[in-house]
C-alpha cells in the first residue's frame, strides 16, 4: 500500500481515538466504561431530582417546598458554599447528599493527592456537619476522568451525572418533559438568582412529572440496583 495512504489512515485512526477519549471526559452522557452513572433502570416509572451548586441562600426555602410537595431530592454541595451558608446545612438533614468538590473548578487531569486534597475536606465536613457521609459525587461541569473515578470510589463515592438539566420553564412544560424517560436524573441549579422563580420551576416540574405518571424517588432508591 502507498505509504501516504497508510499515513492518512493512521492519522484518521488517531483522530478517532482522541475524539472518543474527549467524548468520554467532557460529555455528561459518557460513562467511562460504566464508571459513571447517568440514569437509573428504565423499567420503573420513576425519576430522581438533584440540585447542584449547593447550599445557597435559597436552600432552606427549596427544602421547605420539597417537603410540601412530598418530593425527595439530593443536594450536591461545594466546600466553599458550606462555609458561606452554614445555617442552610440544617435544612438538608432530611435529604440525600452528594458533593461536587471545593468549588466548581474542574477535577479532571489532577494528581491523586490533589484530588484527595480537593475532595477529602468536603467529604469530612459534610459527614461532620450532617452526621453521615455523602454518598455521591457529581463532577463540576460533568467533566470526569478515570483517575477521578478511582479516587472517588476509594472515598466511598458513586460518580454520577444528570440525564437532563431543567433550567427554564420551557424545560418543565408538558412539551419539555417529553424528553424525560423513566430512570432519568433531573438536575436543577441550587443557586439561582431568583428564589421565587426557582420554587415555581420546581413546583411546575414536580406537577408535570406526576401528570405523566412518573414518580419521584430518591437517588438511593432509583439507583439501588446499579451500584
Pull the grid cell for residue 158.
458513586
List residues bridging with 150 in a β-sheet: none
N- to C-terminal Cα distance for the chain? 49
Pull the grid cell for residue 138.
457529581
Domain at 32-222, CATH from 3.40.980.10, 1.10.287.70, 3.20.20.370, 3.30.70.20: 3.20.20.370
The predicted pLDDT at position 16 comes to 55
What is the rounded average pLDDT of the residues 59-84? Answer: 97
Backbone angles phi, psi at 186, to 5 degrees: -105, 125
Among 100, 63, 96, 61, which residue's Cα sits nearest to residue 80? 100
The predicted pLDDT at position 10 comes to 40
* DSSP strand pairing (158-159 vs 136-137): parallel
> d(Cα 136, Cα 116) in Å, to the nearest integer?
15
Give the tens place of pLDDT for each residue, 173-207: 999 999 999 999 999 998 877 889 999 999 999 99
Residue 222 exposed, middle or buried by CB count within 10 Å (0-12, 13-18, 19+): buried
CB atoms within 10 A of CB 73: 24
What is the rounded average pLDDT of the residues 45-61? Answer: 96
Computed over every residue of the chain, the mean pLDDT equals 91
The predicted pLDDT at position 17 comes to 60
Domain chopping of the chain, boundaries: 1-30, 32-222
| Residue 152 clears pLDDT 70, i.e. is over it | yes
What is the rounded average pLDDT of the residues 20-45? Answer: 94
Is 227:158 a contact under the CB 8 Å cutoff?
yes
Work out the percent of the chain whose per-residue pLDDT is above 90.
Answer: 85
CB atoms within 10 A of CB 144: 29
CA torsion through residues 78, 82, 84, 89, sign: positive
Amino acid at each position: 500500500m502507498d505509504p501516504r495512504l497508510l499515513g492518512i489512515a493512521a492519522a484518521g485512526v488517531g483522530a478517532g481515538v482522541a475524539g472518543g477519549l474527549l467524548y468520554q471526559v467532557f460529555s455528561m452522557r459518557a460513562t467511562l466504561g460504566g464508571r459513571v452513572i447517568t440514569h437509573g433502570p428504565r423499567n420503573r416509572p420513576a425519576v430522581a431530582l438533584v440540585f447542584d451548586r449547593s447550599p445557597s441562600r435559597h436552600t432552606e426555602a427549596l427544602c421547605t417546598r420539597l417537603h410540601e410537595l412530598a418530593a425527595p431530592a439530593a443536594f450536591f454541595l461545594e466546600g466553599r458554599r458550606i462555609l458561606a451558608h452554614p445555617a442552610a446545612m440544617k435544612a438538608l438533614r432530611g435529604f440525600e447528599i452528594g458533593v461536587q468538590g471545593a468549588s466548581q473548578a474542574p477535577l479532571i487531569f489532577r494528581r491523586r493527592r490533589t484530588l484527595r486534597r480537593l475532595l477529602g475536606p468536603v467529604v469530612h465536613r459534610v459527614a461532620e456537619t450532617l452526621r453521615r457521609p455523602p454518598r455521591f459525587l457529581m463532577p463540576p461541569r460533568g467533566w470526569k476522568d478515570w483517575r477521578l473515578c478511582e479516587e472517588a470510589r476509594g472515598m466511598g463515592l458513586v460518580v454520577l451525572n444528570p440525564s437532563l438539566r431543567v433550567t427554564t420553564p420551557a424545560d418543565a412544560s408538558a412539551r419539555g418533559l417529553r424528553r424525560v424517560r423513566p430512570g432519568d436524573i433531573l438536575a436543577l441549579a441550587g443557586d439561582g438568582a431568583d428564589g421565587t422563580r426557582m420554587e415555581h420551576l420546581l413546583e411546575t416540574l414536580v406537577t408535570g412529572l406526576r401528570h405523566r405518571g412518573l414518580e419521584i424517588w430518591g437517588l438511593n432508591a432509583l439507583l439501588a440496583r446499579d451500584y
